[in-house]
Amino acid sequence: MHSGASEQEPLFRPQGAEQSATVRFLHRANLEHGLNLQTYFDLYKWSTAHIDKFWGMVWDETNVIGEKGSHVVDNTAMPTVNPVWFADARLNWAENLLHCRSTTKTALIEAIEPTPDYPDPRLRRVTYAELYELVADVVSALLHHGVKRGDRVAAYSSNCIENVALCLATSAIGGIWVSAAADFGPEGVKERFEQVQPKFIFAVDAVAYNHKIHQHLPKVSALLSGLNDKIAPPKVVIISTRLNSHDQPSRVRETWEPTWLTWEDFVKEGQQHKLGRSPDGEIEWCRVPFDWPLWILFSSGTTGRPKPIVHRAGGMLLQAKKEFAVCGDLRPDDVFFYYTTTGWMMWNFLVGGLSIGCTLVLYDGSPLRDVSLLWKLVDQLGITIFGTSAKYLDQLSKQYRPREHHDLSTLRHIYSTGSPLAPPLFDYVYQHIHPNVLLGSITGGTDICSLFAGMCSALPVYRGEIQCRMLGMAVESFTPTGSVNPPNEAGELVCVRPFPCMPLGFWPLAGYGAADADVKGLKTVSRNPISQSLRTYGVNHGDHIIITRSREGNGGGLIMLGRSDGVLNPGGIRFGSSEIYEVLDLCFTGPTAEKFIVADYLAVGQKTDGGADERVILFVKLPDGHELSDEFEQKVKAEIRARRSPRHVPARIIQVSDVPYTLNGKRVEVLVKKIINGAPLSSVNPATLSNPECLTFYRDVGEFLRRERP
């Protein structure tokens, strides 16, 4: 799939691209629809112009289990309509993920970070047959306790096998899955669960992180106490993580409420009652309409309660099938790992890999306390697909070179998301992790629980760029006045055609299991979580991007410049914070930094001249014992001026002790921008941040900056 040459040589070019799943799909489109598509860009344009034919073909190509029906979507519909998809279809998400029933093929491998109390935690493995039986038992137990279609089942859990089984079982009976990571504080979880009123809450007894065992039951008790006068009491089941095996079980159980069930007893109930199974032992899958809710994910909620975003079962299945089977070319023999907690959409993304029949690796613990640990797992387990965050790669690059210590020969793909992957980190991956791997920088969001742009096994990888816009996702870069940008011009990411994983709306939704009183109580609230960001042209995702010119038929890669509401605009010159961060990464971090070293950073705009203009404020966190001298500050400004422009040079550089992050590890530029421009701390929801205590400093600095330059 090559079309023309490029001045910049790619860092990676796939071998055998003509045999890739994407090219097979292209040939099928040509055959079935009488086309003459030659390149990925040709296929992409067809997939976004004919969304009915394209998504119908995805269903067929990826062997979705269920009744498809004759309807796909109104090809003339605008995204603002949020149209109905596959109106006649009936399917079950979990049935599609458990199509493999092999007694020898491993479905899940669970790994836990070692601690002094548990220095050598054994790996847990379940085959697809064992996972199916576990899901069947959980289905039976849920039905025994009265869970029905539309009920919410929640977990406050670690990344364990039981959590995956619960998600699958909930879907199997038409329930709606809700998840919060064990590292979330109980107040933040309460804000989520009280909005969705789960019938069950499953929780682990302990978690391992940063070389320590952390008891989780006190947080569970605090959560339940907070929910006590908010919702009907949920049933509670506690999952033993083996981390308390060194304690006396009776001592651990002293903290339990008498109504709590153990996971073992809960599963035994399911085995005894054998509900939800046909005479031949098959789970009686609840096949639901394509638009039936699968799970509820929550917005970050940094300035208010997290919003409960409802995702449709058919959209999640079809999007995952396209991303993995068609674009990423994942295979049943792949071993797929993604470092994620259960509260980040990448957990849902990872679980979707079961639809391919590959092996998933679940890890719970710190990724960096022992920097070698995850790379040991790559060699030990034969991991082929390694997923992580840009923040992890950035931190790793400052202290470790995996290629010097590990074989890593099984790796095929490395995925990175969460924030833009800086160009120097592309170099780091190819020089110090693996020279011949597909580095898939990917971008999407909680609101679509999938990708706008990402990986393709048929295309090359260019430094600093996401490979391509994903098939079926009509992404364009728009100017502030509403016109489409030409290639290589910065603008707003807008998706101009509907896609099947557009969310249904905010919970509660009428007709999907919510109580009528709850729905009526929210009659003044938008049902559509993307309605606030819909423009005349389509879905505005809030990202500032560049779509590069097409090279080798890729239709243009994507360069992520940051959040559009955090775009810097001094003197009317708009640019993304990532343009400053790239200079800092190149000159002041890692092995290239010598005298002047920056550990972390954050750039925001401070409004000046009564809001008519703004100036750039750069906050830098330095290593312990380092101070921001005049010489250091001038060096930073000189490098930014030389490598970018005078407009990029920060008006002020301020040393900070910490940079605020969300619980999912995302730097919160927009929140800091609001605070230094006068927003009160009371507007911040601290339960959504990992280090909210640092915001006091930004408030105080903001007061000084506004006095200095009103």
Please, what are the domains in the chain? 567-708 (3.30.300.30)
**Enclosing H/E stretch for 295:** strand 293-298
Residues whose CB falls within 8 Å of the CB of residue 125, separated by 6 or more in sequence, listed in order: 106, 108, 109, 110
185-195 burial by CB neighbour count: b if 16+ within 10 A, else e?
Answer: bbebbbbbbbb
pLDDT in tens, 204-256: 999 999 999 999 999 999 999 999 999 999 999 999 998 886 554 555 567 78
CA angle in degrees (0–180, nearest 5) for 498-499-502: 95
Quickly state the pLDDT bin for 303 (edges 50, 70, 90): low
pLDDT in tens, 652-688: 999 999 999 988 788 888 889 989 999 898 888 888 8
Strand-pair partners of 414: 386, 439
According to the 3-state scheme, what is the secondary structure of 329-361? CCCCCCEEEECCCCCCHHHHHHHHHHHHCCEEE
Exposed, middle or buried by CB within 10 Å (0-12, 13-18, 19+), for 694? middle
What's the pTM?
Answer: 0.87
The answer to whether residue 530 scores a pLDDT higher than 60 is no
Residue 358 half-sphere exposure toward CB, CA atoms < 13 A: 25
Note whether 349 and 397 are within 8 A (CB). Answer: no
206-240 burial by CB neighbour count: b if 16+ within 10 A, else e?
Answer: bbbbeeebbebbebbbebbebbeeeeeebbbbbbb
Q: How far is CA 151 from CA 16, 262, 406, 420, in A?
A: 47, 21, 46, 37
| Pairing mode of beta strands 539-547, 438-441 | unpaired
The answer to whether residue 517 scores a pLDDT higher than 80 is no
Q: Percent of the chain, pLDDT > 90?
A: 75
The answer to whether residue 528 scores a pLDDT higher than 70 is no
Quickly state the pLDDT bin for 443 (edges 50, 70, 90): very high
Q: How far is CA 627 from CA 26, 623, 655, in A?
A: 57, 9, 8
CA angle in degrees (0–180, nearest 5) for 501-502-508: 110
Helix axes 423-432, 578-588, angle to 10 degrees: 40
Exposed, middle or buried by CB within 10 Å (0-12, 13-18, 19+), for 485? middle
Of the candidates 622, 625, 649, which has an alpha carbon nearest to the alpha carbon of residue 635? 649
Note whether 297 and 309 are within 8 A (CB). Answer: yes
Give the Cα separation of 334 and 316 in Å (integer). 21
Quickly state the pLDDT bin for 511 (edges 50, 70, 90): confident
pLDDT for res 252: 59
The answer to whether residue 533 scores a pLDDT higher than 60 is no
Note whether 207 and 214 are within 8 A (CB). Answer: yes
Strand-pair partners of 177: 153, 295
Mean pLDDT computed over every residue of the chain: 91
